[in-house]
Amino acid sequence: MPFSELKCLRCGRVHHPAKNLYVCTSCGGKLDVIYDYQAISDVINRGELAKRKNGVWKYYELLPLMSRKNIVSLGEGGTPLIPARNLAKELRMRHLLLKDETRNPSASFKDRPMSVGVSKAVEFGARAVVCASSGNAAIALSAYAAKAGIKCHVFVPLGAPKSKVAQLLMHGAQVVQPKESGVGDPTYKLMQESWKKFGWHPIPSAGAFNPYQPEGSKTISYEVCEQMGWQTPDWVIIPTGAGTLLSGNAKGYFEFEQMGLINEVPRLVAIQAEGCAPIVRAFKEGTSPYEIPPWPSPRTVAGGLVDPYPWDADTAIPAIKRSNGTAEAVSDAEILAAVKLLARREGIFAEPSGAAGLAGLMRLLDEGVVSRSDVVVIEITGGGLKDVATAMKMVEKPVTIEPRLEQLKKLFVADLKQH
């Protein structure tokens, strides 16, 4: 019952799901999971959902698995939607909510898609999985592969933060950091060239290489609808790299609209870093998603948003347009200021990529695109301990003193004078 087929988003060909069928065999296009919403509506309704335990697998019928026994779970999803009263006051807004995805098992939203991706690979009998990632997708994949007892190979960029590499190695992934070759993304290049040769299942975050795992990100939207009592926000602001998260979020809202569970889809906003913003540029210039050139030499502190080639722009850009949303790029300085503000006003420690949505909101408020009376949800996508080095550069150093009250007093006097 859950789902029946895969449809190519480029040529329209319909495929039956099968092992090693991850892209359209006719044109190489991206596959979309097709569900029978009529049948699902007989089972899933507001009352039924209210009875179920929170988490990604609460929405089993809307996820592409054939049997519950293949679920690989670490307790992902079911994250809080937190009213950001202090920030709202500071920004003179009425309703600001934070979807805190840092609470996921490996501290980023990527646990949602990877729980689905690894479960599906297990259903296909996979012994090894592979991914190309700036860090978080690889980390989530390595944790779920560990739980499933299968091998995990990851290609991550040389510049990945140490704390992310530590997480990967601790889960036992085989970590390969390819050197820059000058064109394209060397991590994706290696993944594309290696997976078939070695019999690995490709599970990067991008839907362009595997249609299953992006479905996991729909559950963020389902949760927001439920947590808001089925009143959708005016805006949902989403830190964006390849556009996979935004595409998944959009599918979730459009599905709930189609099933009659919500009346309106929120306006979706893609926030990218100025140092790598191919989706924002294509959105503003009206470039066809299939003709976006790779971003030359990306540079930003938001490593999780570095996708020089936006693999899922073909679903993300139409979703932004269909939802009447927008796209904006923010500077590293704005992102770092948002990291600090989030930590100091709301008690949430995010990595730079994870806080980019807040930086985006502040820009859109200034530009008058978002009104201060609008209801806004920002997705905080990744936790701050993933990039300790960047955090340490932004804070004052701790003070060392002799363990004597006199010295402490002196410190306070200096401190009092300062404030």
Ligand X SMILES: *Cc1c(COP(=O)(O)O)cnc(C)c1O
Binding site for ligand X (CB under 6 A): 108, 110, 136, 205, 239-246, 304-305, 307, 351, 353-354, 381-382
Q: List the helix and strand counts (H, then E) for the chain.
A: 15, 13
**Between 123 and 328, CB nearer to ligand X:** 328
**Between 267 and 386, CB nearer to ligand X:** 386
**Between 2 and 278, CB nearer to ligand X:** 278
Minimum distance from residue 43 beta carbon to ligand X (Å)? 29
List alpha helices for 160-206, DSSP H: 162-170, 186-198
Minimum distance from residue 313 beta carbon to ligand X (Å)? 9
**Between 232 and 244, CB nearer to ligand X:** 244
By beta carbon distance, the residue nearest ligand X is: 382
Minimum distance from residue 101 beta carbon to ligand X (Å)? 8
**Between 157 and 382, CB nearer to ligand X:** 382
Tell me which DSSP letter residue 9 carries: T
With CA atoms as reference, report the closest residue to 105 among 186, 47, 39, 167. 167
- The alpha carbon of 236 is separated from its chain's Cα centroid by a whole number of angstroms, namely 13
Minimum distance from residue 24 beta carbon to ligand X (Å)? 21
Tell me which DSSP letter residue 178 carries: P
E-strand stretches of 52-167: 81-83, 95-100, 128-132, 151-155
- What angle in degrees, to the nearest 10, is found between the helix axes of 313-322 and 278-285? 50
**Between 123 and 323, CB nearer to ligand X:** 323
Query: Are 243 and 211 contacting, i.e. CB atoms less than 8 angstroms apart?
Result: no
Minimum distance from residue 239 beta carbon to ligand X (Å)? 4
Minimum distance from residue 301 beta carbon to ligand X (Å)? 12
Q: Distance of CA 231 to CAs 85, 221, 372, 376, Å?
A: 19, 12, 18, 12
Distance CA 116, CA 114 (A): 5
List alpha helices for 228-312, DSSP H: 244-258, 278-285
With CA atoms as reference, report the closest residue to 164 among 391, 317, 380. 391
Minimum distance from residue 228 beta carbon to ligand X (Å)? 22
Minimum distance from residue 98 beta carbon to ligand X (Å)? 14
Distance CA 185, CA 190 (A): 9
Rg of the chain over CA atoms, in angstroms? 21
**Between 243 and 308, CB nearer to ligand X:** 243
**Between 140 and 261, CB nearer to ligand X:** 140
